[in-house]
Amino acid sequence: MQRTATFLWHLVPTATLAIALALVSPGVLRAQDAGTTSETTAGVTPPRRIVISLTERRLHLLEEGRPPRSFPVAIGRPGVAIPLGDSRVLRKRRNPIWHPTANQRRENPALPVSVPPGPSNPLGKFALDLGWTAIAIHGTNEPDSVGRRASGGCFRMLPADIAALFEMVPVGTPVRVVSGSAVLPSPQPAVAVAAAASSPPIPAPPPKVAPPLPILPDPRCATAGAPLRRMICTVPDLAALDGRARGLHQRHLAALPAERRDAAAYALLQEERRFDDRITARCWVRRGMEEDPAVAAAAEACLRDALSVRLEEAKRR
């Protein structure tokens, strides 16, 4: 029992930092990876395709006759080579097993030979293996990394998003990775465009004015005791940044199908806890010292930067 606890103690931080790669080579399936779907019959054209934009850090699912669907992804961290060009989904794995590479295990001998399905698995609950060796679209046990340059070359998705994508795309779906912005098809079919061209011109509707960002106050403000949280609640511009991020999170949840809402709400809760941990470490103020003008100014500047980044991440969802 003591040896098992020691192993798990080493596993949690290393699994967080390890590159979550789908280490099944294109032609070989591991017998222990349950729930695997292998390649489709050659010559069958899948009805959907995937375009991943590194600039946008988003995955776009395209399907003829339907508007594109878009999801945030984590891409390779700085210094890591990221594949570009065309590939396809070679196989789908439900509850995948993570197999660290030989190089990873040489760099970190504490890594196990494999990590079974569960909360410590860096691949999450679903993986779509691509044609590039050891590259996959998969979930993650670190949802806070999604939208960032954080992976070892794979494309991480939020748990609810990869669950939805896993059900929507078949094996054989084409995948294209582009460095710039994705070129998405027009939502209006070509036939409709031709018909419109032969009709009398219709006056353009007035431009839509984007609704103001909703501001949702933090319910903890009434009882906030930590100096940094009290500062966010009482400094108007900090409270506005925090409230706008919360409002966008709620708008995002409300737009999701009911079956995905609980998982997304849990992911946002975990993200908020990690955000509080980060500002506590970066913007630390000793209790009682927030009345010092110099200390308060430094803490407010630190919080303003952290909240601005959080708001931009909320806008990209």
Q: How confident is the model at residue 296, as a pLDDT?
A: 83
The sign one gets for the Cα dihedral 312, 253, 93, 90 is negative
CA atoms within 13 A on the CB side of 207: 2
What pLDDT digit, counting tens, does each position of 46-56 carry?
Answer: 579 999 999 89
Question: Which residue is listed with tokens 């431009």?
Answer: 207
- For residue 46, the model assigns a pLDDT of 53
- pLDDT tens digits along 158-208: 999 999 999 999 999 999 999 888 877 665 554 444 444 455 666 767 765
Sign of the torsion formed by the C-alpha atoms of 290, 294, 297 and 301: negative
Q: Give the pLDDT confidence score for residue 175 in this predicted structure.
A: 95
Predicted confidence at residue 207, as pLDDT, reads 65
Low-confidence stretches of the chain (pLDDT beneath 70): 1-46, 103-104, 185-202, 204, 207-214
Distance CA 219, CA 167 (A): 36
Angle at alpha carbon of residue 168, lines to 188 and 161, rounded to 5°? 95
Give φ, ψ of 128 to 5 degrees.
-115, 105
Give CA–CA dist 86/36, Å, rounded. 22
> Residue 133 burial (CB < 10 Å; 0-12/13-18/19+)?
middle
138 is an active site residue = yes
pLDDT of residue 177: 94
What's the Cα-to-Cα distance from 126 to each of 118, 120, 176, rounded to whole Å?
11, 14, 20
Which residue out of 10, 60, 99, 138 is catalytically annotated? 138
CA distance 284 to 209: 40
* Active-site hit among 60, 154, 249, 283: 154
Other CB atoms within 10 A of residue 118 CB? 10
pLDDT tens digits along 26-40: 333 333 344 555 544
252 has catalytic annotation: no
Q: What is the pTM of this model?
A: 0.48
**90: closest CA among 31, 170, 148?**
170
What is the per-residue pLDDT for 171? Answer: 94
Tokens of 264: 């997304």
At residue 91, φ and ψ (nearest 5 deg) are -160, 160
Bridge partners (DSSP) listed for residue 51: 60, 176
In this prediction, residue 71 carries a pLDDT of: 94
d(CA 72, CA 55): 11
